[in-house]
């Protein structure tokens, strides 16, 4: 999967500093994750692990089937003081970057100028975030019998 890369970032700068969640799948199989919050003096959580080619193929399948790469963020809400989201995907010869505001709920998606495209984005980043958190949990917390 030398021609596949995904990076997602969501964050804002506020009362507790720069708070964000970020993950990326790199072509060499590296999965990098960071979650930063200064709420109640929390520290930045960083995890890095290597996933198999099969996992990367599954991530690529999820991205492809989401059809998000057919979309365009020109009719999505602009980043604002509430925060921003960024999604970068490199898939073969295609390279696309989306930048939009944070999504509070599906109502924000439905009320956008492009609800169909924005919904595809919303569900893709949620699916990938669940996959990332599951992989990290499996990798970091499984105890051998």
Strand, coil or helix: 3: coil
Number of domains, the chain:
1
Range of the domain at 20: 2-138
Q: Is residue 143 part of a domain?
A: no
pLDDT number for residue 40: 66
Q: Is residue 144 part of a domain?
A: no
Q: Which helix (H) or strand (E) holds 11?
A: strand 4-14
- Per-residue tens of pLDDT for the chain, all 145 residues: 678 999 999 998 877 677 899 999 999 999 999 998 776 667 788 999 999 999 999 999 999 999 999 999 999 999 998 899 999 999 999 999 999 999 888 888 998 999 999 999 999 999 999 999 999 988 877 555 5
Q: Find the helix packing angle between 115-141 and 53-66, rounded to 10°.
A: 160
Whichever domain contains 112, its CATH number is 3.30.1560.10
User: In residues, how long is the chain?
Assistant: 145
The count of C-alpha atoms lying within 13 angstroms of the C-alpha of 45, restricted to the half-sphere facing its C-beta, is 13
Beta strand extents in 26-144 (DSSP E only): 30-36, 45-50, 84-91, 94-100
Give the pTM.
Answer: 0.87
Q: Is residue 83 part of a domain?
A: yes
pLDDT number for residue 130: 95
Q: Is residue 145 part of a domain?
A: no
Nearest to residue 19, comparing CAs of 57, 45, 52? 45
């Amino acid at each position: 999967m030398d021609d596949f890369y995904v990076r997602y970032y969501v964050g804002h700068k506020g009362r507790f500093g720069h708070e964000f969640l970020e993950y990326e799948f790199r072509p060499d199989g590296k999965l990098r994750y960071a979650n930063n919050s200064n709420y109640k003096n929390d520290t930045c959580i960083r995890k890095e692990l290597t996933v198999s080619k099969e996992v990367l193929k599954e991530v690529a399948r999820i991205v492809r089937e989401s059809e998000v790469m057919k979309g365009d963020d020109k009719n999505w809400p602009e980043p604002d003081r509430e925060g921003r989201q960024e999604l970068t995907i490199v898939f073969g010869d295609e390279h696309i970057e989306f930048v939009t505001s944070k999504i509070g709920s599906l109502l924000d998606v439905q009320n956008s100028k492009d609800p169909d495209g924005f919904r595809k984005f919303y569900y893709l980043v949620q699916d990938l975030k669940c996959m990332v958190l599951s992989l990290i949990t499996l990798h970091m917390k499984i105890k051998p019998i």
